[in-house]
Structures are given as structure tokens and as C-alpha cells.
Chain A
Amino acid sequence: MTRFLARRLLNYVVLLGLASFLTFTLTSMTFSPLDSLLERNPRPPQAVIDAKAAELNLDKPIPVRYGDWVAGAVRGDFGTTVGGQPVTDELWRRIGVSLRLVIIGSIVGTFLGVVAGAWGAVRQYRLSDRVITTLALLTLSAPTFVIANLLILAALNVNSFLGLQVFEYTGETSSDAVGGGWNQFVDRLQHLVLPTFTLALGAIAGFSRYQRNAMLDVLSQDFIRTARAKGLTRRRALFKHGLRTALIPMATLFAYGVGGLFTGAVFVEKIFGWHGIGEWFVQGIGSQDTNIVVAITVFTGVTVLLAGLLSDVLYAALDPRVRVS
């Protein structure tokens, strides 16, 4: 197991290095970070532009620049933005914001999705199953930015109906949230509900579909009938023998899901005005900033790989066959 994980990890590190190299080369070739200076009117003197170019190492060839970047990145220093601020500090701050957004949504989404899918499989072709399946497909057909806006519209109606500002849909906190810890907490909660729900909905829909299929496969297997035949209650046979087996493929899906979650977070952050990684990425491309974009690539790469590793471990925990061999 340890050997297996170590080999996996090494493979991941190599992939991560290549991913960062590709992104770095591509951004360095396509971005022209001096545009913000050149397009200024009146145009700044040439000396200023040259100084900026030298500061950003634009005079060196790209492989050398990548070498410099790696030397810094290994020590945890991701360089500076075009504006001159250190990338690393901002990266950590924004990771915090994004994680606050993503973690609850993904946990709630995975859990509810698995429950909905398993329930639908047990009640196959009944009304409840049909409703869940159709709603899941409809949700999967709607991109995150449509769901987010529909939720905002719905929340607006609820707010105006109740005459109270129950749901907030801009930012992480209100600037006027004063008072004790309780008020702060409620204020954060009000801001958290809609974005979290937006992310969770997509996850619920995706997981429920796969879980339903996996559960259906398992339910038609012989060992469920055997379990029932030896006198287990229906509930016990379904949960202990059925659901546990049907969860195994979900472990792999979870790893792919994490990548999608961060893409979803880009839209949620943009629409709800959270200053997280996703929003920064859009800004980074707008300001043609190589260091920001590559730092975000590394971050998303690391999260996807960690999720992959986690799903390997989960797989081993759920599937005894992996542990034995």
C-alpha cells in the first residue's frame, strides 16, 4: 500500500511539474503584460517601459524565466504580480476564501447526492425516482451561472415577500455587520447559503445519477439475494451489503468532481462577489499576469491530485480486494 501510494505520488509530482511548465510557456508566449503601460495615454517614457520589462524578466528567454520561477516555487515563493505585489500572500488569502466556499458545498452535495441516488435506485421507476432523475438531469443541463442567477431571483422574491433581508447575495460579509460574535456569525451564514447551495446543487445532481446507476447494478447482484435469503432485513441488506459496495466507484468520481468544483467556484465567486481563487484567475488573465495564472494552475493541480490520492485511499478502505492484493 505504501509503495503503491509512493509511486502514485511520484507520478503526480512529475505531472504537476509538466502542467506548470506547459502553462508557464503558454502564458509567457501569449501574454503581453506591458499592455497596461503601453496603452496608457499619454504613453509613459520608453525608459519606464524598459525598466518594467527588466523587472518582469521579459528580456530573458522563456526557459530561463521558468527556471527562475521553479527555483522560487520550490521555496514557496511564486514571484510577484505585474503590479509588484507578492503572489504567495494573496494566494493563501484567496485559498482561504475559496475553501470556505467549496468545502461545505462539496460535503453537503456529495452526501445528499449519494442519498438521493441510492434512494432512487431502491424505488426504481416509482414516482419519486422519476422526479429525482428528471430534476437531476435538469440541474446538470443548467450551467452554474444560470443556477446561481435563478437562486438570486428566487431569494429576491423571498426577501421581498417576507420584507426581510434573509438571503444576501453580494460578498462574504456585510461591511455594516457590527456587534457581537453572534451577529457576525449570522451575517456570514446569510452570505454563505446561496453560493454554497449553488455549488451543492450541481454536486447533488451529478452524484445522484452515478450513485443510482451503481446502486442498480449492485441490487441485481446475487449477493443481495443471498443476504436477504439468509434472513437479513431489507434495510440491512440494502445498506450494509448494497450501498457499501455501490459506494466504491463513487470514490473515483469524487476525485474528478473536485476539479469540476473549482471550475464551478469561478462562476459562483464572480456572481456572488467573493474574492477567491476563481475571481483572481479571471483578473489574472485580464491583466495578462503569468505568475498569477501559473500559481493558480499549481494550486488546482495540487488539489486535483490530492483528491486523486484521497480517492485511492478511500477506494482501498471501501474495497477489501485492493487491500489484500
Chain B
Amino acid sequence: MTVSAPQEFVSRRTLVWRRFLRNRAAVLSLFVLAALFIGCYALPPLLPYSHTDLDYYALQQPPSTTHWFGTNALGQDLLAQTLRGMQKSMLIGVCVAFLSTAIAATVGAVAGYFGAWRSAALMWIVDLLLVVPSFLLIAIVTPRTRESGTILWLILLLSAFSWMISARIVRGMTMSLREREFVTAARYMGVSNRRIIVRHILPNVASILIIDTALNVGLAVLAETSLSFLGFGVQPPDVSLGTLIADGTRSVTTFPWVFLFPAGVLVLIVFCANLVGDGLRDALDPGVRPARRKRNSHR
């Protein structure tokens, strides 16, 4: 890290932010994600068709000026449906990402800081949850939840099964932080354990938590759409990108647009989320990868 002008004080936050802005792909992805998120909530009221309307004059029609994404066999407008699906999928993705990272931070920090029996017990739970086929368990429970609660259940269940590996990483980092002087000093000054974890441990693992949250968005969206694709996620009459793609799969060889539009949007969302995650990783710990275009500078 070279700060050329020492008289100009640059905080770490500014540095990270600058490094992130330098990564064009990540910045563009962040914009696309924001636009998609706002668009899927803002656009539906402006459309002439809602996602439940049936247009009997346009059954299974390819994209046209009246139906931009075409229509399905029932005459539902696919643009309106895709937007509705995006609302559900993105909402679940973001909530699960934050929730699972919060669980990972808590469990990892507690296990790493206290060690002994707490660590053993928590890591044993981690092992157990890694062995239990989480996909199966979620699939068993969600079809039996009631309509309105399904989304909430999905968020809770998906978060409950996606924090384990990050928790292990946080635990490892906490264990090495615990031995550092500032933690020992705080302990001798009589600072409570809870306060040490919140004020001294967590800020020091914040970078890994931020990266983890960003990358979890993509994973959570994929998990939700996968479940919905099989009929174990969002339940009809509501739609998610997964159920839309499942509908499209049946006619993929004959009416490909029913599949292609929701699938394209899904891949775009997850791709952008991953690029943002990668950008954050590069910005937060530049040590992982050598400076960009090292090779070019030698030429």
C-alpha cells in the first residue's frame, strides 16, 4: 500500500472505496444490481398487465411490442411475471445473505473467543449441519407452509443452513485475534467479553463478513430458485424466477422464450452479485492478489 502524499490522511474506508471504484466490472455490476432491484419494484405498476392477468388474444406468443417478453400458454405477460419473480428471488437472496452472515459472525466469534466446550459444541453443530442434507430438509418443510408464510420460512431455513463454512473461517480468525495484545489489554482493563467481541473482534473480521455477505446473495438466490424449480420453494399462485424457469423448461424446445427470459435475468443477477463480491474481496484484502497488471508494467 503506497500513499504518495503523507500529509494527506486517507482513512482505510476511503482507500477501500477507491480500490473498489477502480474495478470497472464490479462497479458496473453494482449499478446493474441496483437498477434490477429498483426496477422490479417500480416497474410493475407502470405496466398495462399485472402478473396474474390473462390475455386470451395472446396465448404462447413470442415477444412483441405489446408483450415485450412474450406470453405463456395461459396468456400471462412474461415481463410482468419475471418482474414479480425477481421481487421474490432478490428479496429472499438479500435477506438470507445478511441473516446467514450474522449467524456465522456470532457463532464463529463466540466459538473462537471462548474456545473450550463452547467451541467444541458449536463446531460439532457445524459438522452436523454440513452432513444433514439441508436441501432435503428445506424441501420437506416448505411445501407444507401456508401461502403468506412461505417466503419467511424460506428465508429462515435457507439462512439456517448456509452459515456453517463462514462460521469456521470466522472462528479461525477470532482464535488468532484473541492472542493479540489489544484483546489482552482490553481484558485486563476489565472490559466485558461481550464488549470485546463486539468492539474488538468483529471489526477486525469485518472484511471477511462483507465479502461473505456479497457472495452469499448469489448463493441464496441460486438456492431459492433451485428449490422453487422443483416445486419446494415459493408456492403457486405466487411466482419466483425458479417456478417461471420450471414452466419454461416444459416447452424449452418449442417455445424457448418462456424459458430464456427468466433464466437470463436469473443468471444476470447472480453474475452481478458474484462480480460485486469479487470486487469487494479485491478491494478489502489486496494482499490476496498481486497488484493489477503487474505483468504489463514490466513491459
Contact = CB atoms under 8 A, between A and B. Distances in A.
A241 interface: no
A143 B232 CA distance: 16
Contact of B267 (A18, A138, A300, A304): A138
A271 interface: yes
A216 B282 CA distance: 14
Contacts of A150: 263
B24 interface: no
A102 interface: no
Nearest to A134: B25
Contacts of A271: 249
B253 A146 contact: no
A141 B270 contact: yes
A39 to B, nearest CB: 15
Contacts of B259: 149
B175 to A, nearest CB: 19
A189 interface: no
A304 B266 contact: no
Contacts of B229: 143, 145, 267
Given A146-B263, A216-B289, A266-B230, A285 B139 contact: yes
Contacts of B141: 26, 30
B256 to A, nearest CB: 6
A251 interface: no
Contact of B226 (A140, A143, A293): A143
A144 B143 CA distance: 22
Contact of B131 (A16, A153, A296): A16
Interface string A13-56: 00110110011001100110000000000000000000000000
A156 B259 CA distance: 15
B230 A149 contact: no
B252 interface: yes
A220 interface: yes
Interface stretch (B55-63, B79-87, B177-185, B291-299): B291-299
Contact of A153 (B252, B267, B293): B252
Contacts of A220: 290
Interface in B257-299: 259, 263, 266-267, 270-271, 273-275, 278, 288-290, 292-296
Contacts of B133: 19, 23, 259, 296-297, 300-301
Contacts of A177: none
A226 interface: no
Given A140-B274, A146-B266, A270-B230, A293 B293 contact: no
Contacts, number: 116
B218 interface: yes
B285 to A, nearest CB: 12
Contact of B140 (A12, A124, A285): A285
Contacts of A166: none
Interface in B209-267: 218, 222, 225-226, 229-232, 245-246, 248-249, 252-253, 256, 259, 263, 266-267
B38 to A, nearest CB: 21
For A19, A138, A156, which residue has the most chain B Cβ atoms within 10 angstroms?
Answer: A19
Nearest to A126: B295
Interface in A130-151: 137-138, 140-146, 149-150
A263 interface: yes
A26 B245 CA distance: 29
A138 B278 CA distance: 13
- Which A-B residue pairs are the 8 nearest by beta carbons? A141-B271, A141-B270, A146-B263, A19-B132, A15-B131, A142-B267, A149-B252, A300-B133
26 contacts: A15-B127, A18-B128, A18-B132, A19-B131, A23-B140, A30-B144, A125-B292, A137-B274, A141-B267, A141-B273, A141-B274, A143-B222, A143-B229, A143-B266, A144-B226, A149-B252, A149-B263, A152-B252, A266-B135, A266-B230, A282-B230, A282-B231, A285-B143, A293-B136, A297-B133, A305-B131
Given A142-B270, A149-B248, A149-B252, 19 more contacts: A19-B131, A19-B133, A22-B132, A124-B295, A125-B294, A137-B278, A143-B225, A145-B246, A145-B249, A153-B253, A263-B226, A267-B226, A267-B229, A281-B136, A285-B139, A285-B143, A293-B136, A296-B133, A297-B132
